[in-house]
Homo-oligomer: A and B are copies of this chain.
């Protein structure tokens, strides 16, 4: 029941009110894979340049992430530079150097073609579709995207969305994609594109899940210390898909639990720079925080006769 993830591996330079990190490990596939690795086997397809430090490779291997799909090509690794103010909800991008990522054409190793779970991280929707064509239909395909692709390649993006089971985007992206400010109406429009489950990430306000007939609302974990929000969304997706793949339970009840595990992983990730918190996280801590989510959201129902 392993997961295949296709996305970016990057070197990030991040500035927050609490500190600065230069050329730290980043990238959507990196955050996703590291987070998911707490729950299941993960194979990663991405590209890095000649400058990519061996220590990062070692770290990913230490998480048992299968790197046979990680290509090293001439040139430099994708580099992102960003800054957060005291409102940690939104990053200000200072610089994006695509480098080797600019000509990235994901090739799925044949050993990966029958993965049960596939996550298409935020890359060009045409490449996402290429990946879908290269694999046997996985049990679950989930995908992410961003404002850039919504405005530049809306038709390609809609085609991909028609192929995936679960779309995981943030609230601004949902509104942009649907051209609808009301989130409930927005969700209905997006579901009509053919995706069965829409998960809308709302940063410090948590997550809303929409299906044709149900809504699930999960809070974010209220933290005293938010150090670096970079990668929170991909860490969420990794915990979410990781738990789904681990249990194989893709019923709505299973998806709801997976959303909480995703929220747990994201809440840990933002506590330190880069994915440093995930370097020393135990499964026991993950379960403890899951129980905190349960305690934090519990209230008594009404008796049916009331």
From residue 207 to 259 of chain A, which have CB atoms closer than 8 A to chain B? 208, 214-219, 222-226, 253, 256-257, 259
Q: Tell me, yes or no, whether A138 is within 8 Å of chain B by CB.
A: no
Contact of A302 among B291, B300, B302 (CB under 8 A): B291
Q: Tell me, yes or no, whether A146 is within 8 Å of chain B by CB.
A: no
CB-CB nearest 8 A-B residue pairs: A217-B219, A256-B299, A205-B205, A184-B224, A294-B301, A184-B222, A217-B296, A215-B296
CB closest residue in chain B, given A216: B296
Q: Give the Cβ gap from A164 to chain B, nearest Cβ, in Å.
A: 22
Given A287-B302, A294-B299: A222 in contact with B216 (beta carbons within 8 A):
no
Residue pair B256, A181 in contact (C-beta under 8 Å): no
Residues of A within 8 A of B (CB): 86-87, 181-185, 202, 205-206, 208, 214-219, 222-226, 253, 256-257, 259-260, 287, 290-291, 294-302, 306
Given A222-B208, A224-B185: A300 in contact with B215 (beta carbons within 8 A):
no
Given A217-B222, A222-B215, A306-B287: A253 in contact with B185 (beta carbons within 8 A):
no
Contact of A205 among B87, B202, B225 (CB under 8 A): B202
Residue pair A291, B287 in contact (C-beta under 8 Å): no
Complexed CA–CA distance, A304 and B224 (Å): 27
A208 contacts across to B, CB distance below 8 A: 219, 222
CB closest residue in chain B, given A185: B224
A297 contacts across to B, CB distance below 8 A: 216-218, 297, 299
Complexed CA–CA distance, A288 and B206 (Å): 24
Q: Give the Cβ gap from A301 to chain B, nearest Cβ, in Å.
A: 5
A219 contacts across to B, CB distance below 8 A: 206, 208, 217, 219
Residue pair B299, A259 in contact (C-beta under 8 Å): yes
CB closest residue in chain B, given A255: B299
Q: Give the Cβ gap from A189 to chain B, nearest Cβ, in Å.
A: 12
Complexed CA–CA distance, A214 and B294 (Å): 12
A295 contacts across to B, CB distance below 8 A: 214
4 additional A-B residue pairs with CB within 8 Å, beyond A182-B223, A217-B219: A185-B224, A216-B296, A217-B296, A218-B299
Residue pair A222, B183 in contact (C-beta under 8 Å): yes
Complexed CA–CA distance, A300 and B256 (Å): 8
Complexed CA–CA distance, A205 and B294 (Å): 18
Complexed CA–CA distance, A301 and B297 (Å): 11
Complexed CA–CA distance, A183 and B287 (Å): 24
A260 contacts across to B, CB distance below 8 A: 299
Q: Give the Cβ gap from A30 to chain B, nearest Cβ, in Å.
A: 27
Complexed CA–CA distance, A167 and B131 (Å): 53
Q: Give the Cβ gap from A97 to chain B, nearest Cβ, in Å.
A: 32
